[in-house]
Amino acid sequence: MDVLYTPRIDDPDGFYAELLDAHEGLKEAESHALNARLVLVLSNVVGDRNVLRASLALAKKAGSSGR
């Protein structure tokens, strides 16, 4: 699934900074909650169930592989 394995974000450093900024000053629980809301918002943007399923699998796999 190309969309999962192709860089697509404009100005990646800028995005990364905005992501961290969004969490600035939040307690850990608040950060987790923000992430959860973000997952839901972005999932709706993606919409396609196949892409969502593959995204879940990729995220899960990346977290379980050896470093």
Partner 1 sequence: MVDVRYETAFTLYPYQRSEDQDVDAPVRHPVVIVGGGPVGMAMALDLGQKGVPCVVLDDHDGVGVGSRAICFAKRTLEICDRLGAGDPMVDLGVVWNVGKVFREDRQIYDFNLLPEEGHKRPAFINLQQPYFEKFLVERIRVAQAEGAPIEIRGKNAVLSVESHADHVLLEVGSPDGPYKIESNYLIACDGARSPVRGMLGHDFTGRIFEDNFLICDVKMEAEFPTERWFWFDPPFNPGQSVLLHKQPDDIWRIDFQLGWDIDREAVVQPEYYMPKVQAMLGEGVEFEPEWVSVYTFQCMSMDQYRYGPVFFAGDSAHQVSPFGARGCNGGMQDVDNLAWKLAAVYHGEADARLLDTYNEERKHGADENILNSSRTTDFMTPKTAIAKLFRESVLDLVEHTNAMRPLVNSGRLSLPCVYDGSSLNGPDDNRMPVRTRVGSTLVDAPVNGGWLMDQVGNYFIVLAVNCEIQIEGLQVLRLDADPMVTERYLGDLLQAVYLIRPDQIIAARWEIASAADVISALQVAKGG
Cβ proximity to partner 1, 36 vs 57, nearer residue: 36
Q: Which of 58, 57, 60 is nearest to 5 (CA)?
A: 58
For position 36 contacting partner 1 by CB under 8 A, the verdict is yes
Residue 1 in 3-state DSSP?
A: coil
Least gap, CB of 33 to partner 1 (angstroms): 6
Measured between alpha carbons, how far is 62 from 11 in angstroms, rounded to an integer? 23
| Region from 2-10, 14-22, 30-38, 51-59 binding partner 1, contact rule CB under 8 A | 30-38
Measured between alpha carbons, how far is 39 from 7 in angstroms, rounded to an integer? 19
- Which positions touch partner 1 (CB under 8 A)? 32-33, 36-37, 39-41, 44
